[in-house]
Structure 1
Amino acid sequence: MLSARGRHTEHRIRMSQQTTIRKLAALVNTPVEKLLEQLSEAGMPFSDPDQVVTSAEKLKLLGFLKRAHGKGDKPAEEAIAPKKITLNRTRKQEITVGGGKNKATVDVVVRKKVTLVKPTEAKTPEQEQDAERAEILRKLEESRQRNLSEQQRLEEDDRRRAEEAAEQKRKEEAEAERLQAEAALAAALPAEDDPAARKAHGHGHPKPAAPRTDDRAGHKGKPHRGSHAMVAGVEDDENAARFAGQLHLSASERARRSTSRGKPKPRRNIEQSRSGSAGPHGFERPTAPVVREVAVGEAITVADLAQKLAMKGGDVVKALFKMGVMATITQSIDHDTAVLVVEELGHRAVAAESDDAETELLAHAGELQGEKAARPPVVTIMGHVDHGKTSLLDYIRRTKVASGEAGGITQHIGAYHVETDKGVISFLDTPGHAAFTSMRARGAKLTDIVVLVVGADDGVMPQTVEAIQHARAAKVPLIIAINKIDKSDADPGRIRNELLEHDVVAEDFGGDVQMVELSAKTGLGVDNLLDAISLQAEVLELQAVAEGRANGVVIESSLDKGRGPVATVLVQQGRLEKGDYLVCGVQYGRVRALFDETGAQVQSAGPSIPVQVLGLSGVPDAGDDFVVVADERLAKDVAQQREAKRRESRLVAAAGNRMEDIMAQMGQSEAQQQLNLVVKADVQGSVEALRQALTGLSNEQIRINVIVSGVGGITESDANAAATAKATIIGFNVRADASARKIIENGNLDLRYFSIIYDVIDQVKQVASGLLGVEIREEIIGIAEVRDVFRSSKFGAVAGCMVTEGVVKRSKPIRVLRDNTVVFEGELESLRRFKDNVDEVRSGTECGIGVKAYNDVQPGDQIECFERIEVQRTL
């Protein structure tokens, strides 16, 4: 009856001394309810299938089932007779395929298995169940006997090992005592090479040794740790020298040891070689759990972690599941999660040592040494939108940059260096729109001095306060430029007072912040601002290494159709030259050309000088650091390693979802709308600002996803991604190429071009509002109070009412309220003013109201008239 599964069940029962009712039912292939019933009949009532069944209770159940079913009275030959016969038939034939030269012969073998059952052996289901139970009982009894035999064998092995260990310990102690006694006797006897000793002995005749006192009796000469004291008066003869250190032994024992002295002991060596171990007991089972040190990097796959832990991948997945992280064996988990699961499994996690390209790069960058020299200050112009930041910089540069900006606002960081009478100054112009917060934060981080432009006619605005916070976070000195003082409504005093609310105290008020009044339009006060910048730079004592391999930061980046990836970088240390190899974030390359802010090509750039770099492998992210290295190999290795780490981070973010996150997603309304967007812009900073601004428009009703974003024109792959996700394509200062336009036209995709970020946000709001649809709202337009009720055979109950609020219209739905609780909702049967039917009755007027299909109107009720209106949902 028992197949291979039955033998496996028998093995599981034998290996487990304690299990639950549910597991036992699965092992013996019996329903849980039936097993609970059998346990109850055996005098062991259990109520829960998860209760534990001990070995004694299983034996009790076994005895009960034996008594209930017995062994059967069939003859032995009938029991042994086979119940079925299996015949294997094989038929072989040849098939010819193909023709001509391609003709071939294929051997086809057909194997067939036929099982024949004796008709007389057919049993009823009850008989088969009884036979199966009897077989299970037999297997349980055999399992119990094997368990007892195995337990006895293990106990015998443990006893034998304990006896061997005790015997070995006794032998080691006896050997140690013998060695100690020999050492003590050798110290007491005179050396053979000592002439004085030989003279004292005289012609080889021994003399009695001088009496000695026991070391334990207070002798402070040589230490003696043996348990046997040397006997005084022992003669120094040949026998005494031969049996030195063995005086505590019997004569027969000394004779046995004397025959084996100086001879090897091969038996012991043979036993050790047989045991396969140098230890006295051979192989021993570990008595303590093995604790491993696992090196964990920033991210690691579950399979690699399981290999380092010497565990099965499924066990690690189970441990993660218990911690609330659901990840498959091929997914990656982050460093913190890996450390937690390693510690949970009883091991110790250590940080992985990074003997890689990054370490080589750090050593490479540390080679920049040289004498430091003064460098130009880097000044960032910040402030609220339309307060004159770019106009001020335009006046300083003597160009017309502001007039060329789309919409009159700066939408990416502009970098310039200007030669003034006070020396060279590098300026960074940041946008003032609320969406460009990250740009302003990046500008404050790169700069030495922040010039905050405040319009004298407008006052302190939200982006002004944000710029103050960025400057303080970067610990950069602040200079306030109060602009537009040439206007009639300018009030510089109000600006100073408003800045006091944000702890910006002018020098005039006893503070440490320089404030300069100027007009970027007329140039009034601009020289004073340059003086203030130069003074602040002298106080800071700005210095940098002027020669050597350069390093710095990417200010802005873009993709030029003719020139490829273009990065605007600010050199902070060393000198960047044409032909240098550099690594920039996850991009690398060789500098093919350098351009200044005017578009003129230059050969090199020193500290605090912004330049445009051509020759990178791709468009770097704004804010990435760049480092010049010796060769292209190192630059490529570092870039590839960073890209691999970034990919692992993305996989970690996409995988290993926690249970609480999944439950939160399940709890979200399925009716939530989604608006997918593809955003392409001219520079990296604009892409970053647009992505943050647009995704920030999401709310509970609609979720805005930017599925694709990047720098450069709209390509065919962008159009395909938009077609797949049914997304709206947004081109910010970029256009679609011919192949992309074809896909957009064939797929009837929504493509919109913009040049001002205000318009992008407004249009996305409109598109999202269209997806949200309309909302039905109810607006109460009138309330009538029931004063009396009249009964009519023709109209039923007619309520005499006074309209107390608004207007009651016959065509609108109504509700009947009693004690401010709705008791009926319907419509009006009639609305009368005296005997005339009217369409509406206004506040302060009496009327008669007949409620359709409701005759239980009572005095004191209120009849509420309302209308349903459609309202367009908006963000």
Structure 2
Amino acid sequence: MAEVTVSQLAEVVGAPVDRLLGQMKQAGLTHTQAEQIVSDDDKQTLLAFLKSSHGETVDAPKKITLKRKTLSTLKTSSSQGKKTVSVEVRKKRTYVKRDPQELLAEEQAKNAGSEKSEQELAAEKAAAEEAAAKAAAEAKAEAEKAAAAAKAAAPAEEILDKSKMDPEVLRQMAAAKRQEKEAKDRELQAAALAAKRAEEERQQAGAETAKKSEEKKAKPTRLHAEPDADKDERVSKKKGGPKAKELAVKKRGKNRGHNIRDIDMDGEGNMRGRRKQKILKLPEGAKQHGFSAPTEKKTIEVAIPEAILVSELAQKMHVKASEVIKKLMGMGVMATINQSLDQDTAQLVVEELGHIAKLVSGDEVEEALEIELGQQEGTMAPRAPVVTVMGHVDHGKTSLLDYIRKTGVAGGEAGGITQHIGAYHVETDHGMISFLDTPGHAAFTAMRARGAKSTDIVILVVAADDGVMPQTEEAIKHARAAEVPIIVAVNKIDKEAADLDRVKNELAAKDVIPEDWGGDVQFVPVSAHTGEGVDALLEAILLQAELLELQAATDIPGSGIVIESRLDKGRGSVASVLVQAGTLRQGDIVLAGHHYGRVRAMNDENGQPIKEAGPSIPVEILGLDGTPDAGDSFMVLENEKKAREVTLFRQAKDREDKLKRQQAAKLENMFANMGSDEVRTLNIVIKADVRGSLEAIQASLLDLGNEEVKVNIITGGVGGITETDVTLALTSNAVVFGFNVRADNKARQVVENEGIDLRYYSIIYDLIDDVKQALSGMLSPEMREEINGTAEVRDVFTSPKFGQIAGCMVIEGTLIRSNPIRVLRDDVVIYEGELESLRRFKDDVNEVRNGMECGIGVKNYTDVKPGDKIEVYEVKEYARTL
């Protein structure tokens, strides 16, 4: 270190030069001037003096107290508004530096072995007593010495004038007094501690001497807490020993209501870790079980679906949700506990937390259900054919079935038109046949498609006097798509206008070739009125069924398809189903679409109760918790828990899909309507008697409309019109339609009080036509221009009252004074305006016909020239239709 002067050293340490020279003089240095050089030795001498004067001696304080104060603010909200509160946190911590000799003595006492001879115990006792006596004598001598020094110094302090003394000397005197007091306190504490320790050692030595023989028999490696009477006699009470530690642990365990069974000890008799297990106290002889805590992290295989909540993911990994959220934040994803994660993000989180991610399909429940049903194998047996009757409206489909069943179903239908699918099974002389009757109206396309998919044979009914019609072509397409054979029944052959060859020609053009023409389609002429050819039709059906070799297992749980469903006021949900495989029994748990339930009752198509139904048998079942959609598959499950699980999964999946479609529709509509006028909407609430009719009505209404008007179905359901439906229509300004259903008393009261438009229908034609007229009335009218007359300017005159007057000859139509005009020059419009005056000679007239001369004054236009044409027109409004 380089040598410096006194002034430079004073500047470095931040003290005045005079004060530093005074301290150097007190330290015994010879420096008196600020320019004198201070060597390294001089610095060390000065530093030693300052340390001694500031109390840094051998008896320096060994206790340090640190205080810490932090200030912060907290924002709170109350009824009076937001407030800011200042929070002050004070912390105090004391560090004590213990005497190394004292620590060494305690450590030696702890590590001392439990087996000592009587000589060693006596020697320790004597040494402890000697040390206590010596410490007491030393403390007494030091106390007397300090008292004498204080007494000798007292007169000197009394005669000193402290106001005239150097402040540094006063500070050193105060430090010396403080040191003396602290030394006296430490001596007294050491004496008391030594006396207490000697007494404890004496008591422990006596106990050790009395029980030494039994301690030698005990092994130090493992202690067992057994429920015998003398267990406490075999445990050492020596302070610091392993047995005393065991007793302390046992005592803590008893306070908690437990008993410590095992404590690991090392070779020297010390405990080697924390307690391993805790069990309840049991009677003697009872079996005891223990639990070992895991020592290493467990890796879990986590199944991750396509979407999973943060809380569910944390639960599967057996961690807190906060850990998952923290990991997501580290990945840059801000998520809450109820937020949904996609499969890729969830996989990264699982792998980051050290677990194994297993990706599963979102349709895992459905796939597991399909696998379970696919494993059902039964004994195959022949079954009856399922025949679907299809064709154009009013071609005699239901009438043909009526003759076969000997009933009058068509007479009970509204307008003679079938509104929903009917299912029947008929016992004929040739065997049993199940029939499905589908509507022929254009709105029931989906029903015909379902009928074709759930059938074995399609009977295409074509009227011999009408030929092939649009729904006939549609039925052919459905049958081809379902890949089922077709049998053509040419109905109404008893009429005079019947032409069988015409029907064959028209069907051949649609690729339906008759057998007598070299094709594979059977043509059977029938008459639903007289019954002619019906037996031949049944034989053709059974012949085709034999070729198909239809079979199904009957000894497995039933499964099939939902034909129709409705709400019955007295019976609840009623579903018409067709059993396609297995046997459906009363009491089975049935899963149908998004609904499930136990079959409480089962009826045939005639309403008669039955206990079971086999393949190809249509039945009505009661007991479902809702009305499934027509066309949904149904199956029998073994327990209600499985059915509920699948139902909840399907409902959640349907809600997610619906939400996605709504979001996509909103975006599409937002961009499509951007910059265009607002689309006018007709809100409708629909209630129908059965699901199939409701579906057909909704599909037909949604097809109506254009870019200006559209139909918005607020809600649609099965069953009567309730007060809730009417209230919903009131809030949404909608029209209520009831198809083969009626409103209850409360709903009718709301309709009368609020003036809601409620309409009943039994024929789908009328409903669709009324909605189409309503939409047409909402269309803005079409504006068309019509030219009433044209006049040619022959000459131009000047009038002092009207200005320029064009002398014209009407060459076409009639000029009307109140209509707007256009001025054309060389067949180009140069002005649009209105007439200011129209005169014939000196008279004002309202109109001038073709071939007459007149004078025309054009308002606010003075550039009319001979040869121009003046065209009179008007704009008319025409109502538009869809």
Q: Is TM > 0.5 for Structure 1 vs Structure 2?
A: yes
Which of 753, 756, 772 is equivalent to 1:746? 753
Alignment of 1:154-173 (within 5 A): none
Q: Note closer, same or farther for the CA distance 1:769–1:592 as it changes in structure 2 (3 Å cut).
A: same
Alignment of 1:135-214 (within 5 A): none
Q: Note closer, same or farther for the CA distance 1:763–1:302 as it changes in structure 2 (3 Å cut).
A: farther
2 CA distance for matches of 1:494 and 1:557?
Answer: 40
**Secondary structure of the structure 2 residue equivalent to 1:598:** coil
Render the CA deviation track for 1:642-690: whole Å, top value 9, x for unaligned. Answer: 11222222233334x5996365155163432111111110000111111
- Post-superposition shift, 1:561? 0.5
Query: Could you tell me the TM-score, scaled by structure 2's length?
Result: 0.60
2 CA distance for matches of 1:719 and 1:796?
Answer: 67
* Structure 2 residue aligned with 1:515: 523
1 CA distance for matches of 2:814 and 2:489?
Answer: 60
Alignment of 1:62-141 (within 5 A): none
* Structure 1 residue aligned with 2:63: none
- Post-superposition shift, 1:838? 4.0
> Does structure 1 residue 700 correspond to structure 2 residue 707?
yes
> Does structure 1 residue 377 correspond to structure 2 residue 381?
no
Which of 686, 689, 712 is equivalent to 2:693? 686
2 CA distance for matches of 1:314 and 1:661?
Answer: 33
> Does structure 1 residue 590 correspond to structure 2 residue 607?
no
Which of 575, 582, 590 is equivalent to 1:574? 582
* Structure 2 residue aligned with 1:618: 626
Q: Note closer, same or farther for the CA distance 1:334–1:857 as it changes in structure 2 (3 Å cut).
A: farther
- Post-superposition shift, 1:693? 0.9
Is the 8 Å Cα contact of residues 328 and 334 (structure 2) preserved in structure 1? no
Which of 435, 452, 456 is equivalent to 2:443? 435
Alignment of 1:269-280 (within 5 A): none
Which of 403, 415, 421 is equivalent to 1:413? 421
> Does structure 1 residue 487 correspond to structure 2 residue 504?
no
> Does structure 1 residue 544 correspond to structure 2 residue 552?
yes
Render the CA deviation track for 1:490-536: whole Å, top value 9, x for unaligned. Answer: 22222222223322222232221222222212222222222221221
Q: Note closer, same or farther for the CA distance 1:111–1:708 as it changes in structure 2 (3 Å cut).
A: closer
Alignment of 1:705-854 (within 5 A): 705-772=712-779, 774-833=781-840, 837-843=844-850, 845-854=852-861
* Higher mean C-alpha deviation, range 357-366 or range 847-856: 357-366
* Structure 2 residue aligned with 1:394: 402
- Post-superposition shift, 1:736? 1.4
* Structure 2 residue aligned with 1:160: none
2 CA distance for matches of 1:408 and 1:870?
Answer: 40
Render the CA deviation track for 1:432-463: whole Å, top value 9, x for unaligned. Answer: 11111111111111111111111222222111
| Counterpart amino acid of residue 783 in structure 1 | T
1 CA distance for matches of 2:795 and 2:482?
Answer: 76
* Structure 1 residue aligned with 2:114: none
1 CA distance for matches of 2:569 and 2:605?
Answer: 19
Render the CA deviation track for 1:343-385: whole Å, top value 9, x for unaligned. Answer: xxxxx99852469654553344234322211111111111111
Is the 8 Å Cα contact of residues 565 and 617 (structure 1) preserved in structure 2? yes
Q: Note closer, same or farther for the CA distance 1:497–1:684 as it changes in structure 2 (3 Å cut).
A: same
> Does structure 1 residue 534 correspond to structure 2 residue 542?
yes
* Structure 2 residue aligned with 1:867: 874
- Post-superposition shift, 1:632? 1.8
* Structure 1 residue aligned with 2:255: none
1 CA distance for matches of 2:811 and 2:343?
Answer: 69
Render the CA deviation track for 1:778-813: whole Å, top value 9, x for unaligned. Answer: 333333343443444444333344444443222222
- Post-superposition shift, 1:88? 12
Render the CA deviation track for 1:478-501: whole Å, top value 9, x for unaligned. Answer: 122222222222222222222233
- Post-superposition shift, 1:568? 0.4
2 CA distance for matches of 1:805 and 1:552?
Answer: 76
Which of 561, 572, 596 is equivalent to 2:569? 561
Which of 311, 319, 327 is equivalent to 2:328? 311
Is the 8 Å Cα contact of residues 306 and 362 (structure 2) preserved in structure 1? no
- Post-superposition shift, 1:833? 4.8
**Secondary structure of the structure 1 residue equivalent to 2:773:** helix
RMSD over aligned CA atoms reads: 3.7
Is the 8 Å Cα contact of residues 582 and 588 (structure 1) preserved in structure 2? yes
- Post-superposition shift, 1:300? 5.4
Alignment of 1:501-512 (within 5 A): 501-512=509-520
- Post-superposition shift, 1:545? 0.9
2 CA distance for matches of 1:804 and 1:840?
Answer: 14
Identity of aligned residues (%): 61
Is the 8 Å Cα contact of residues 306 and 361 (structure 2) preserved in structure 1? no
1 CA distance for matches of 2:479 and 2:489?
Answer: 15
Is the 8 Å Cα contact of residues 579 and 616 (structure 2) preserved in structure 1? yes
1 CA distance for matches of 2:728 and 2:645?
Answer: 31
Q: Note closer, same or farther for the CA distance 1:304–1:778 as it changes in structure 2 (3 Å cut).
A: farther
| Counterpart amino acid of residue 517 in structure 2 | F
| Counterpart amino acid of residue 686 in structure 1 | S
- Post-superposition shift, 1:570? 0.4
| Counterpart amino acid of residue 328 in structure 2 | M
Q: Note closer, same or farther for the CA distance 1:619–1:111 as it changes in structure 2 (3 Å cut).
A: closer
2 CA distance for matches of 1:757 and 1:822?
Answer: 52
Q: Which has the higher contact order (CA 8 A, sep 6+)?
A: 1
2 CA distance for matches of 1:785 and 1:303?
Answer: 87
* Structure 1 residue aligned with 2:259: none
| Counterpart amino acid of residue 607 in structure 2 | G
Q: Note closer, same or farther for the CA distance 1:663–1:722 as it changes in structure 2 (3 Å cut).
A: closer
Is the 8 Å Cα contact of residues 364 and 629 (structure 1) preserved in structure 2? no
- Post-superposition shift, 1:815? 2.0
Is the 8 Å Cα contact of residues 373 and 544 (structure 1) preserved in structure 2? yes
* Structure 2 residue aligned with 1:500: 508
**Secondary structure of the structure 1 residue equivalent to 2:814:** strand
2 CA distance for matches of 1:453 and 1:501?
Answer: 17
2 CA distance for matches of 1:842 and 1:88?
Answer: 98
- Post-superposition shift, 1:112? 8.2
2 CA distance for matches of 1:459 and 1:724?
Answer: 49
**Secondary structure of the structure 2 residue equivalent to 1:394:** helix
> Does structure 1 residue 422 correspond to structure 2 residue 439?
no
**Secondary structure of the structure 2 residue equivalent to 1:486:** coil
| Counterpart amino acid of residue 766 in structure 1 | Q
2 CA distance for matches of 1:395 and 1:337?
Answer: 65
| Counterpart amino acid of residue 462 in structure 1 | P
Render the CA deviation track for 1:27-80: whole Å, top value 9, x for unaligned. Answer: xxxxxxxxxxxxxxxxxxxxxxxxxxxxxxxxxxxxxxxxxxxxxxxxxxxxxx
Q: Note closer, same or farther for the CA distance 1:111–1:552 as it changes in structure 2 (3 Å cut).
A: closer
Is the 8 Å Cα contact of residues 383 and 467 (structure 1) preserved in structure 2? yes
Aligned length, in residue pairs? 578
Q: Note closer, same or farther for the CA distance 1:315–1:795 as it changes in structure 2 (3 Å cut).
A: same
Is the 8 Å Cα contact of residues 325 and 337 (structure 2) preserved in structure 1? no
| Counterpart amino acid of residue 497 in structure 2 | D
1 CA distance for matches of 2:839 and 2:629?
Answer: 75
2 CA distance for matches of 1:691 and 1:336?
Answer: 39
Task: Decide which structure has the larger Cα Rg and report it.
Answer: 2
Is the 8 Å Cα contact of residues 579 and 591 (structure 1) preserved in structure 2? yes
Render the CA deviation track for 1:568-588: whole Å, top value 9, x for unaligned. Answer: 000000111111111111111
Which of 454, 478, 493 is equivalent to 1:446? 454
Query: Could you tell me the TM-score, scaled by structure 1's length?
Result: 0.61
Q: Note closer, same or farther for the CA distance 1:551–1:700 as it changes in structure 2 (3 Å cut).
A: same
> Does structure 1 residue 642 correspond to structure 2 residue 659?
no
| Counterpart amino acid of residue 750 in structure 2 | I
Gap regions ≥5 residues in structure 1: 1-86, 90-109, 114-292, 319-327, 343-347
